[in-house]
Chain A
């Protein structure tokens, strides 16, 4: 196991070399950044990319197996937690995988589909209960009492209700009374063995909840979302641009060298992104460039990426901007909850709204924080370096098992 100092130093040294290499390559071939319109177009296309197939297949297999075990044996656990890093959009992946799964022997329910976490912790518990209770209440009424349900469903064919909580981190807020919902959920899960629960959770939220309400004691079966391989990432991202050569090979040997360069490019991208789709997607977009000789005229700058001769530069992790203490606390809070509204962030930090708003504004300008559909999230490309930064600054960080 690497010490935090060694990890931090390695990151820094890698950063220097990556920069040095990119500068050398850029100066050899004079590779420029993409025109803004093209970059924007590609970013939109990236957002519309289908959920990566390896994720879907892995989740379908894991859920199918866990449900089959639960249906067969009376002693097995009735919950499966899918865990990944906070910058991976697990709710979308999980819902897509289950919606397209061949699980036809079970009824899948999403009781929290319309649940919107309020910023006031005391209301949160009531809203959560309102969202969850009708489903459980209805099932109990139709199938008999809770105790009865547990006993009579010893035979597998009766066990067919699956409840999905796509993002556990959206069910609590770090504040006094803020995780009452999680404690209620733990009780529901333990007291209703007749229902199978599939819960998505980020490793950071898990680490926090384990400290404050010992969640791992109740939700014991954890499945880490597997990392994507370099071939899988290439297969997922490459269709976005018709042809992009890898910058760095001299013209005379381009054909032979390109295959090798391409392989090392995808290897580097997978290593830096740790196989996480969203991090890889952002790094890939940042690494796209265009050779100066192929730079489009002003009128052509808005052409589709397919019409431009794009090239791939060596991927690098973006450097973190100068962070204040409040920034670190703010980003740590964002990572625990994956996504927060500004109001929720203020409650979670226990800081004045004005202070939080101004820091968020600065972090958004620096590209650290993104604002999507009313929620603030961390820019995925910054995640690896930020995790190391927070860890060496004595913060509690998550770790996917």
Chain B
């Protein structure tokens, strides 16, 4: 927010500067066809380069071994930023004759104009630049922002794009990331912990369940065996909850991995005749698949 007294001070200063500064024609360079063409060409070139970099890095990231995928993807926002800055500098140098005083006047004018007209847009851009250097997440990370969860597949000027598990692309403006909590599952690493919940009767043979869960994780083709596998338990009125915490080789395999764990664990539990919680009434499930209190006890 701009303080009203500061605003009037800036306006008065601008008016003073306008009095002292050269005319409008002196500030802007003469617009000729070759200059216009060069400007247009530079914009087209920047657009083309951005497109090529986007396509090439995405292609390359999928071709190289997994270990280098995230590093390559992370270079995209930096490269795009460099192109943007270079193009804007070139265009300014092409069309505007700037003295020190002009620069001050122009910056002030633009700041005020943009501050009012494109507040959110500018806020997003600035937030994007800051986020890029702060690094709360990276390209290729699996993040949750508000209700959206997915892989960061693009990092643009104004926002980033998430690819959700349902194959939807969600665009999130950077200024939301600026103010909202953001949770990154892998923080630039290839692996992200997957927590899979299983529920059994209170009377279940706990040792047998724990053994099966460990073996399910260790024997899954997706499991990163160099990272720890942990089973933790929790008690609920309706049964015992077991949480299997393990890491897939690639965070992208999160959902096939979870499915694989559940499928093989259920098969082994059925063979061992381990009892699941029996609930005669209606059970409402929340987003984390944990039964809520809205049910009748058996």
Q: Which residues of A contact B222 (CB under 8 A)?
A: 329
Of the candidates A4, A208, A394, the one whose C-beta lies within 8 Å of that of B190 is: A394
Pairwise interchain contact B67-A4, C-beta atoms closer than 8 A? yes
Give residues of chain B (186-220) contacting chain A, Cβ–Cβ below 8 Å.
190-191, 212, 215-216, 218-220
Q: Which residues of A contact B271 (CB under 8 A)?
A: 122
Tell me the complex Cα distance, A31–B118, Å: 70
Considering only CB atoms, which chain B residue lies closest to A213 in the complex? B218
Beyond A176-B215, A177-B215, A332-B221, is A396–B65 a contact (Cβ under 8 Å)? no
Tell me the complex Cα distance, A118–B86, Å: 66
Considering only CB atoms, which chain A residue lies closest to B216 in the complex? A176
Pairwise interchain contact A392-B67, C-beta atoms closer than 8 A? yes
Leading 5 A-B pairs by shortest Cβ distance:
A392-B65, A211-B225, A212-B218, A176-B268, A329-B221
Tell me the complex Cα distance, A157–B115, Å: 94
Instruction: Render B214-256 as a binary contact track against A, CB cut-off 8 A, 1 for contact.
Output: 0110111110111000000000000000000000011000000
Instruction: Render A378-401 as a binary contact track against B, CB cut-off 8 A, 1 for contact.
Output: 000000000001001111100000
Tally of A-B Cβ pairs under 8 angstroms:
65
Main secondary structure of the interface of B (DSSP, over half): helix
Residue ranges of B at the interface with A (Cβ–Cβ < 8 Å): 65-68, 190-191, 212, 215-216, 218-222, 224-226, 249-250, 260, 263-265, 267-268, 271
Pairwise interchain contact A174-B219, C-beta atoms closer than 8 A? yes
Beyond A8-B65, A122-B271, A176-B212, is A396–B218 a contact (Cβ under 8 Å)? no
Pairwise interchain contact A393-B216, C-beta atoms closer than 8 A? no
Size range of the chain A interface in the assembly: 20 to 34
Tell me the complex Cα distance, A211–B228, Å: 9
In the complex, what's the smallest C-beta–C-beta distance from A202 to chain B, in angstroms?
16
Is A13 in contact with chain B by the CB < 8 A criterion? Answer: no
Q: Which residues of B contact A5 (CB under 8 A)?
A: 67-68
Pairwise interchain contact B66-A393, C-beta atoms closer than 8 A? yes
Pairwise interchain contact A333-B226, C-beta atoms closer than 8 A? no
In the complex, what's the smallest C-beta–C-beta distance from B73 to chain A, in angstroms?
16
Of the candidates B220, B250, B263, B267, the one whose C-beta lies within 8 Å of that of A394 is: B250
Pairwise interchain contact A176-B264, C-beta atoms closer than 8 A? yes
Q: Which residues of B contact A212 (CB under 8 A)?
A: 215, 218-219, 225
Is A227 in contact with chain B by the CB < 8 A criterion? Answer: no
Pairwise interchain contact B225-A208, C-beta atoms closer than 8 A? yes
Beyond A176-B264, A393-B65, A393-B66, is A349–B221 a contact (Cβ under 8 Å)? yes
Is A248 in contact with chain B by the CB < 8 A criterion? Answer: no
Give residues of chain A (1-52) contacting chain B, Cβ–Cβ below 8 Å.
4-5, 8
Considering only CB atoms, which chain B residue lies closest to A3 in the complex? B67
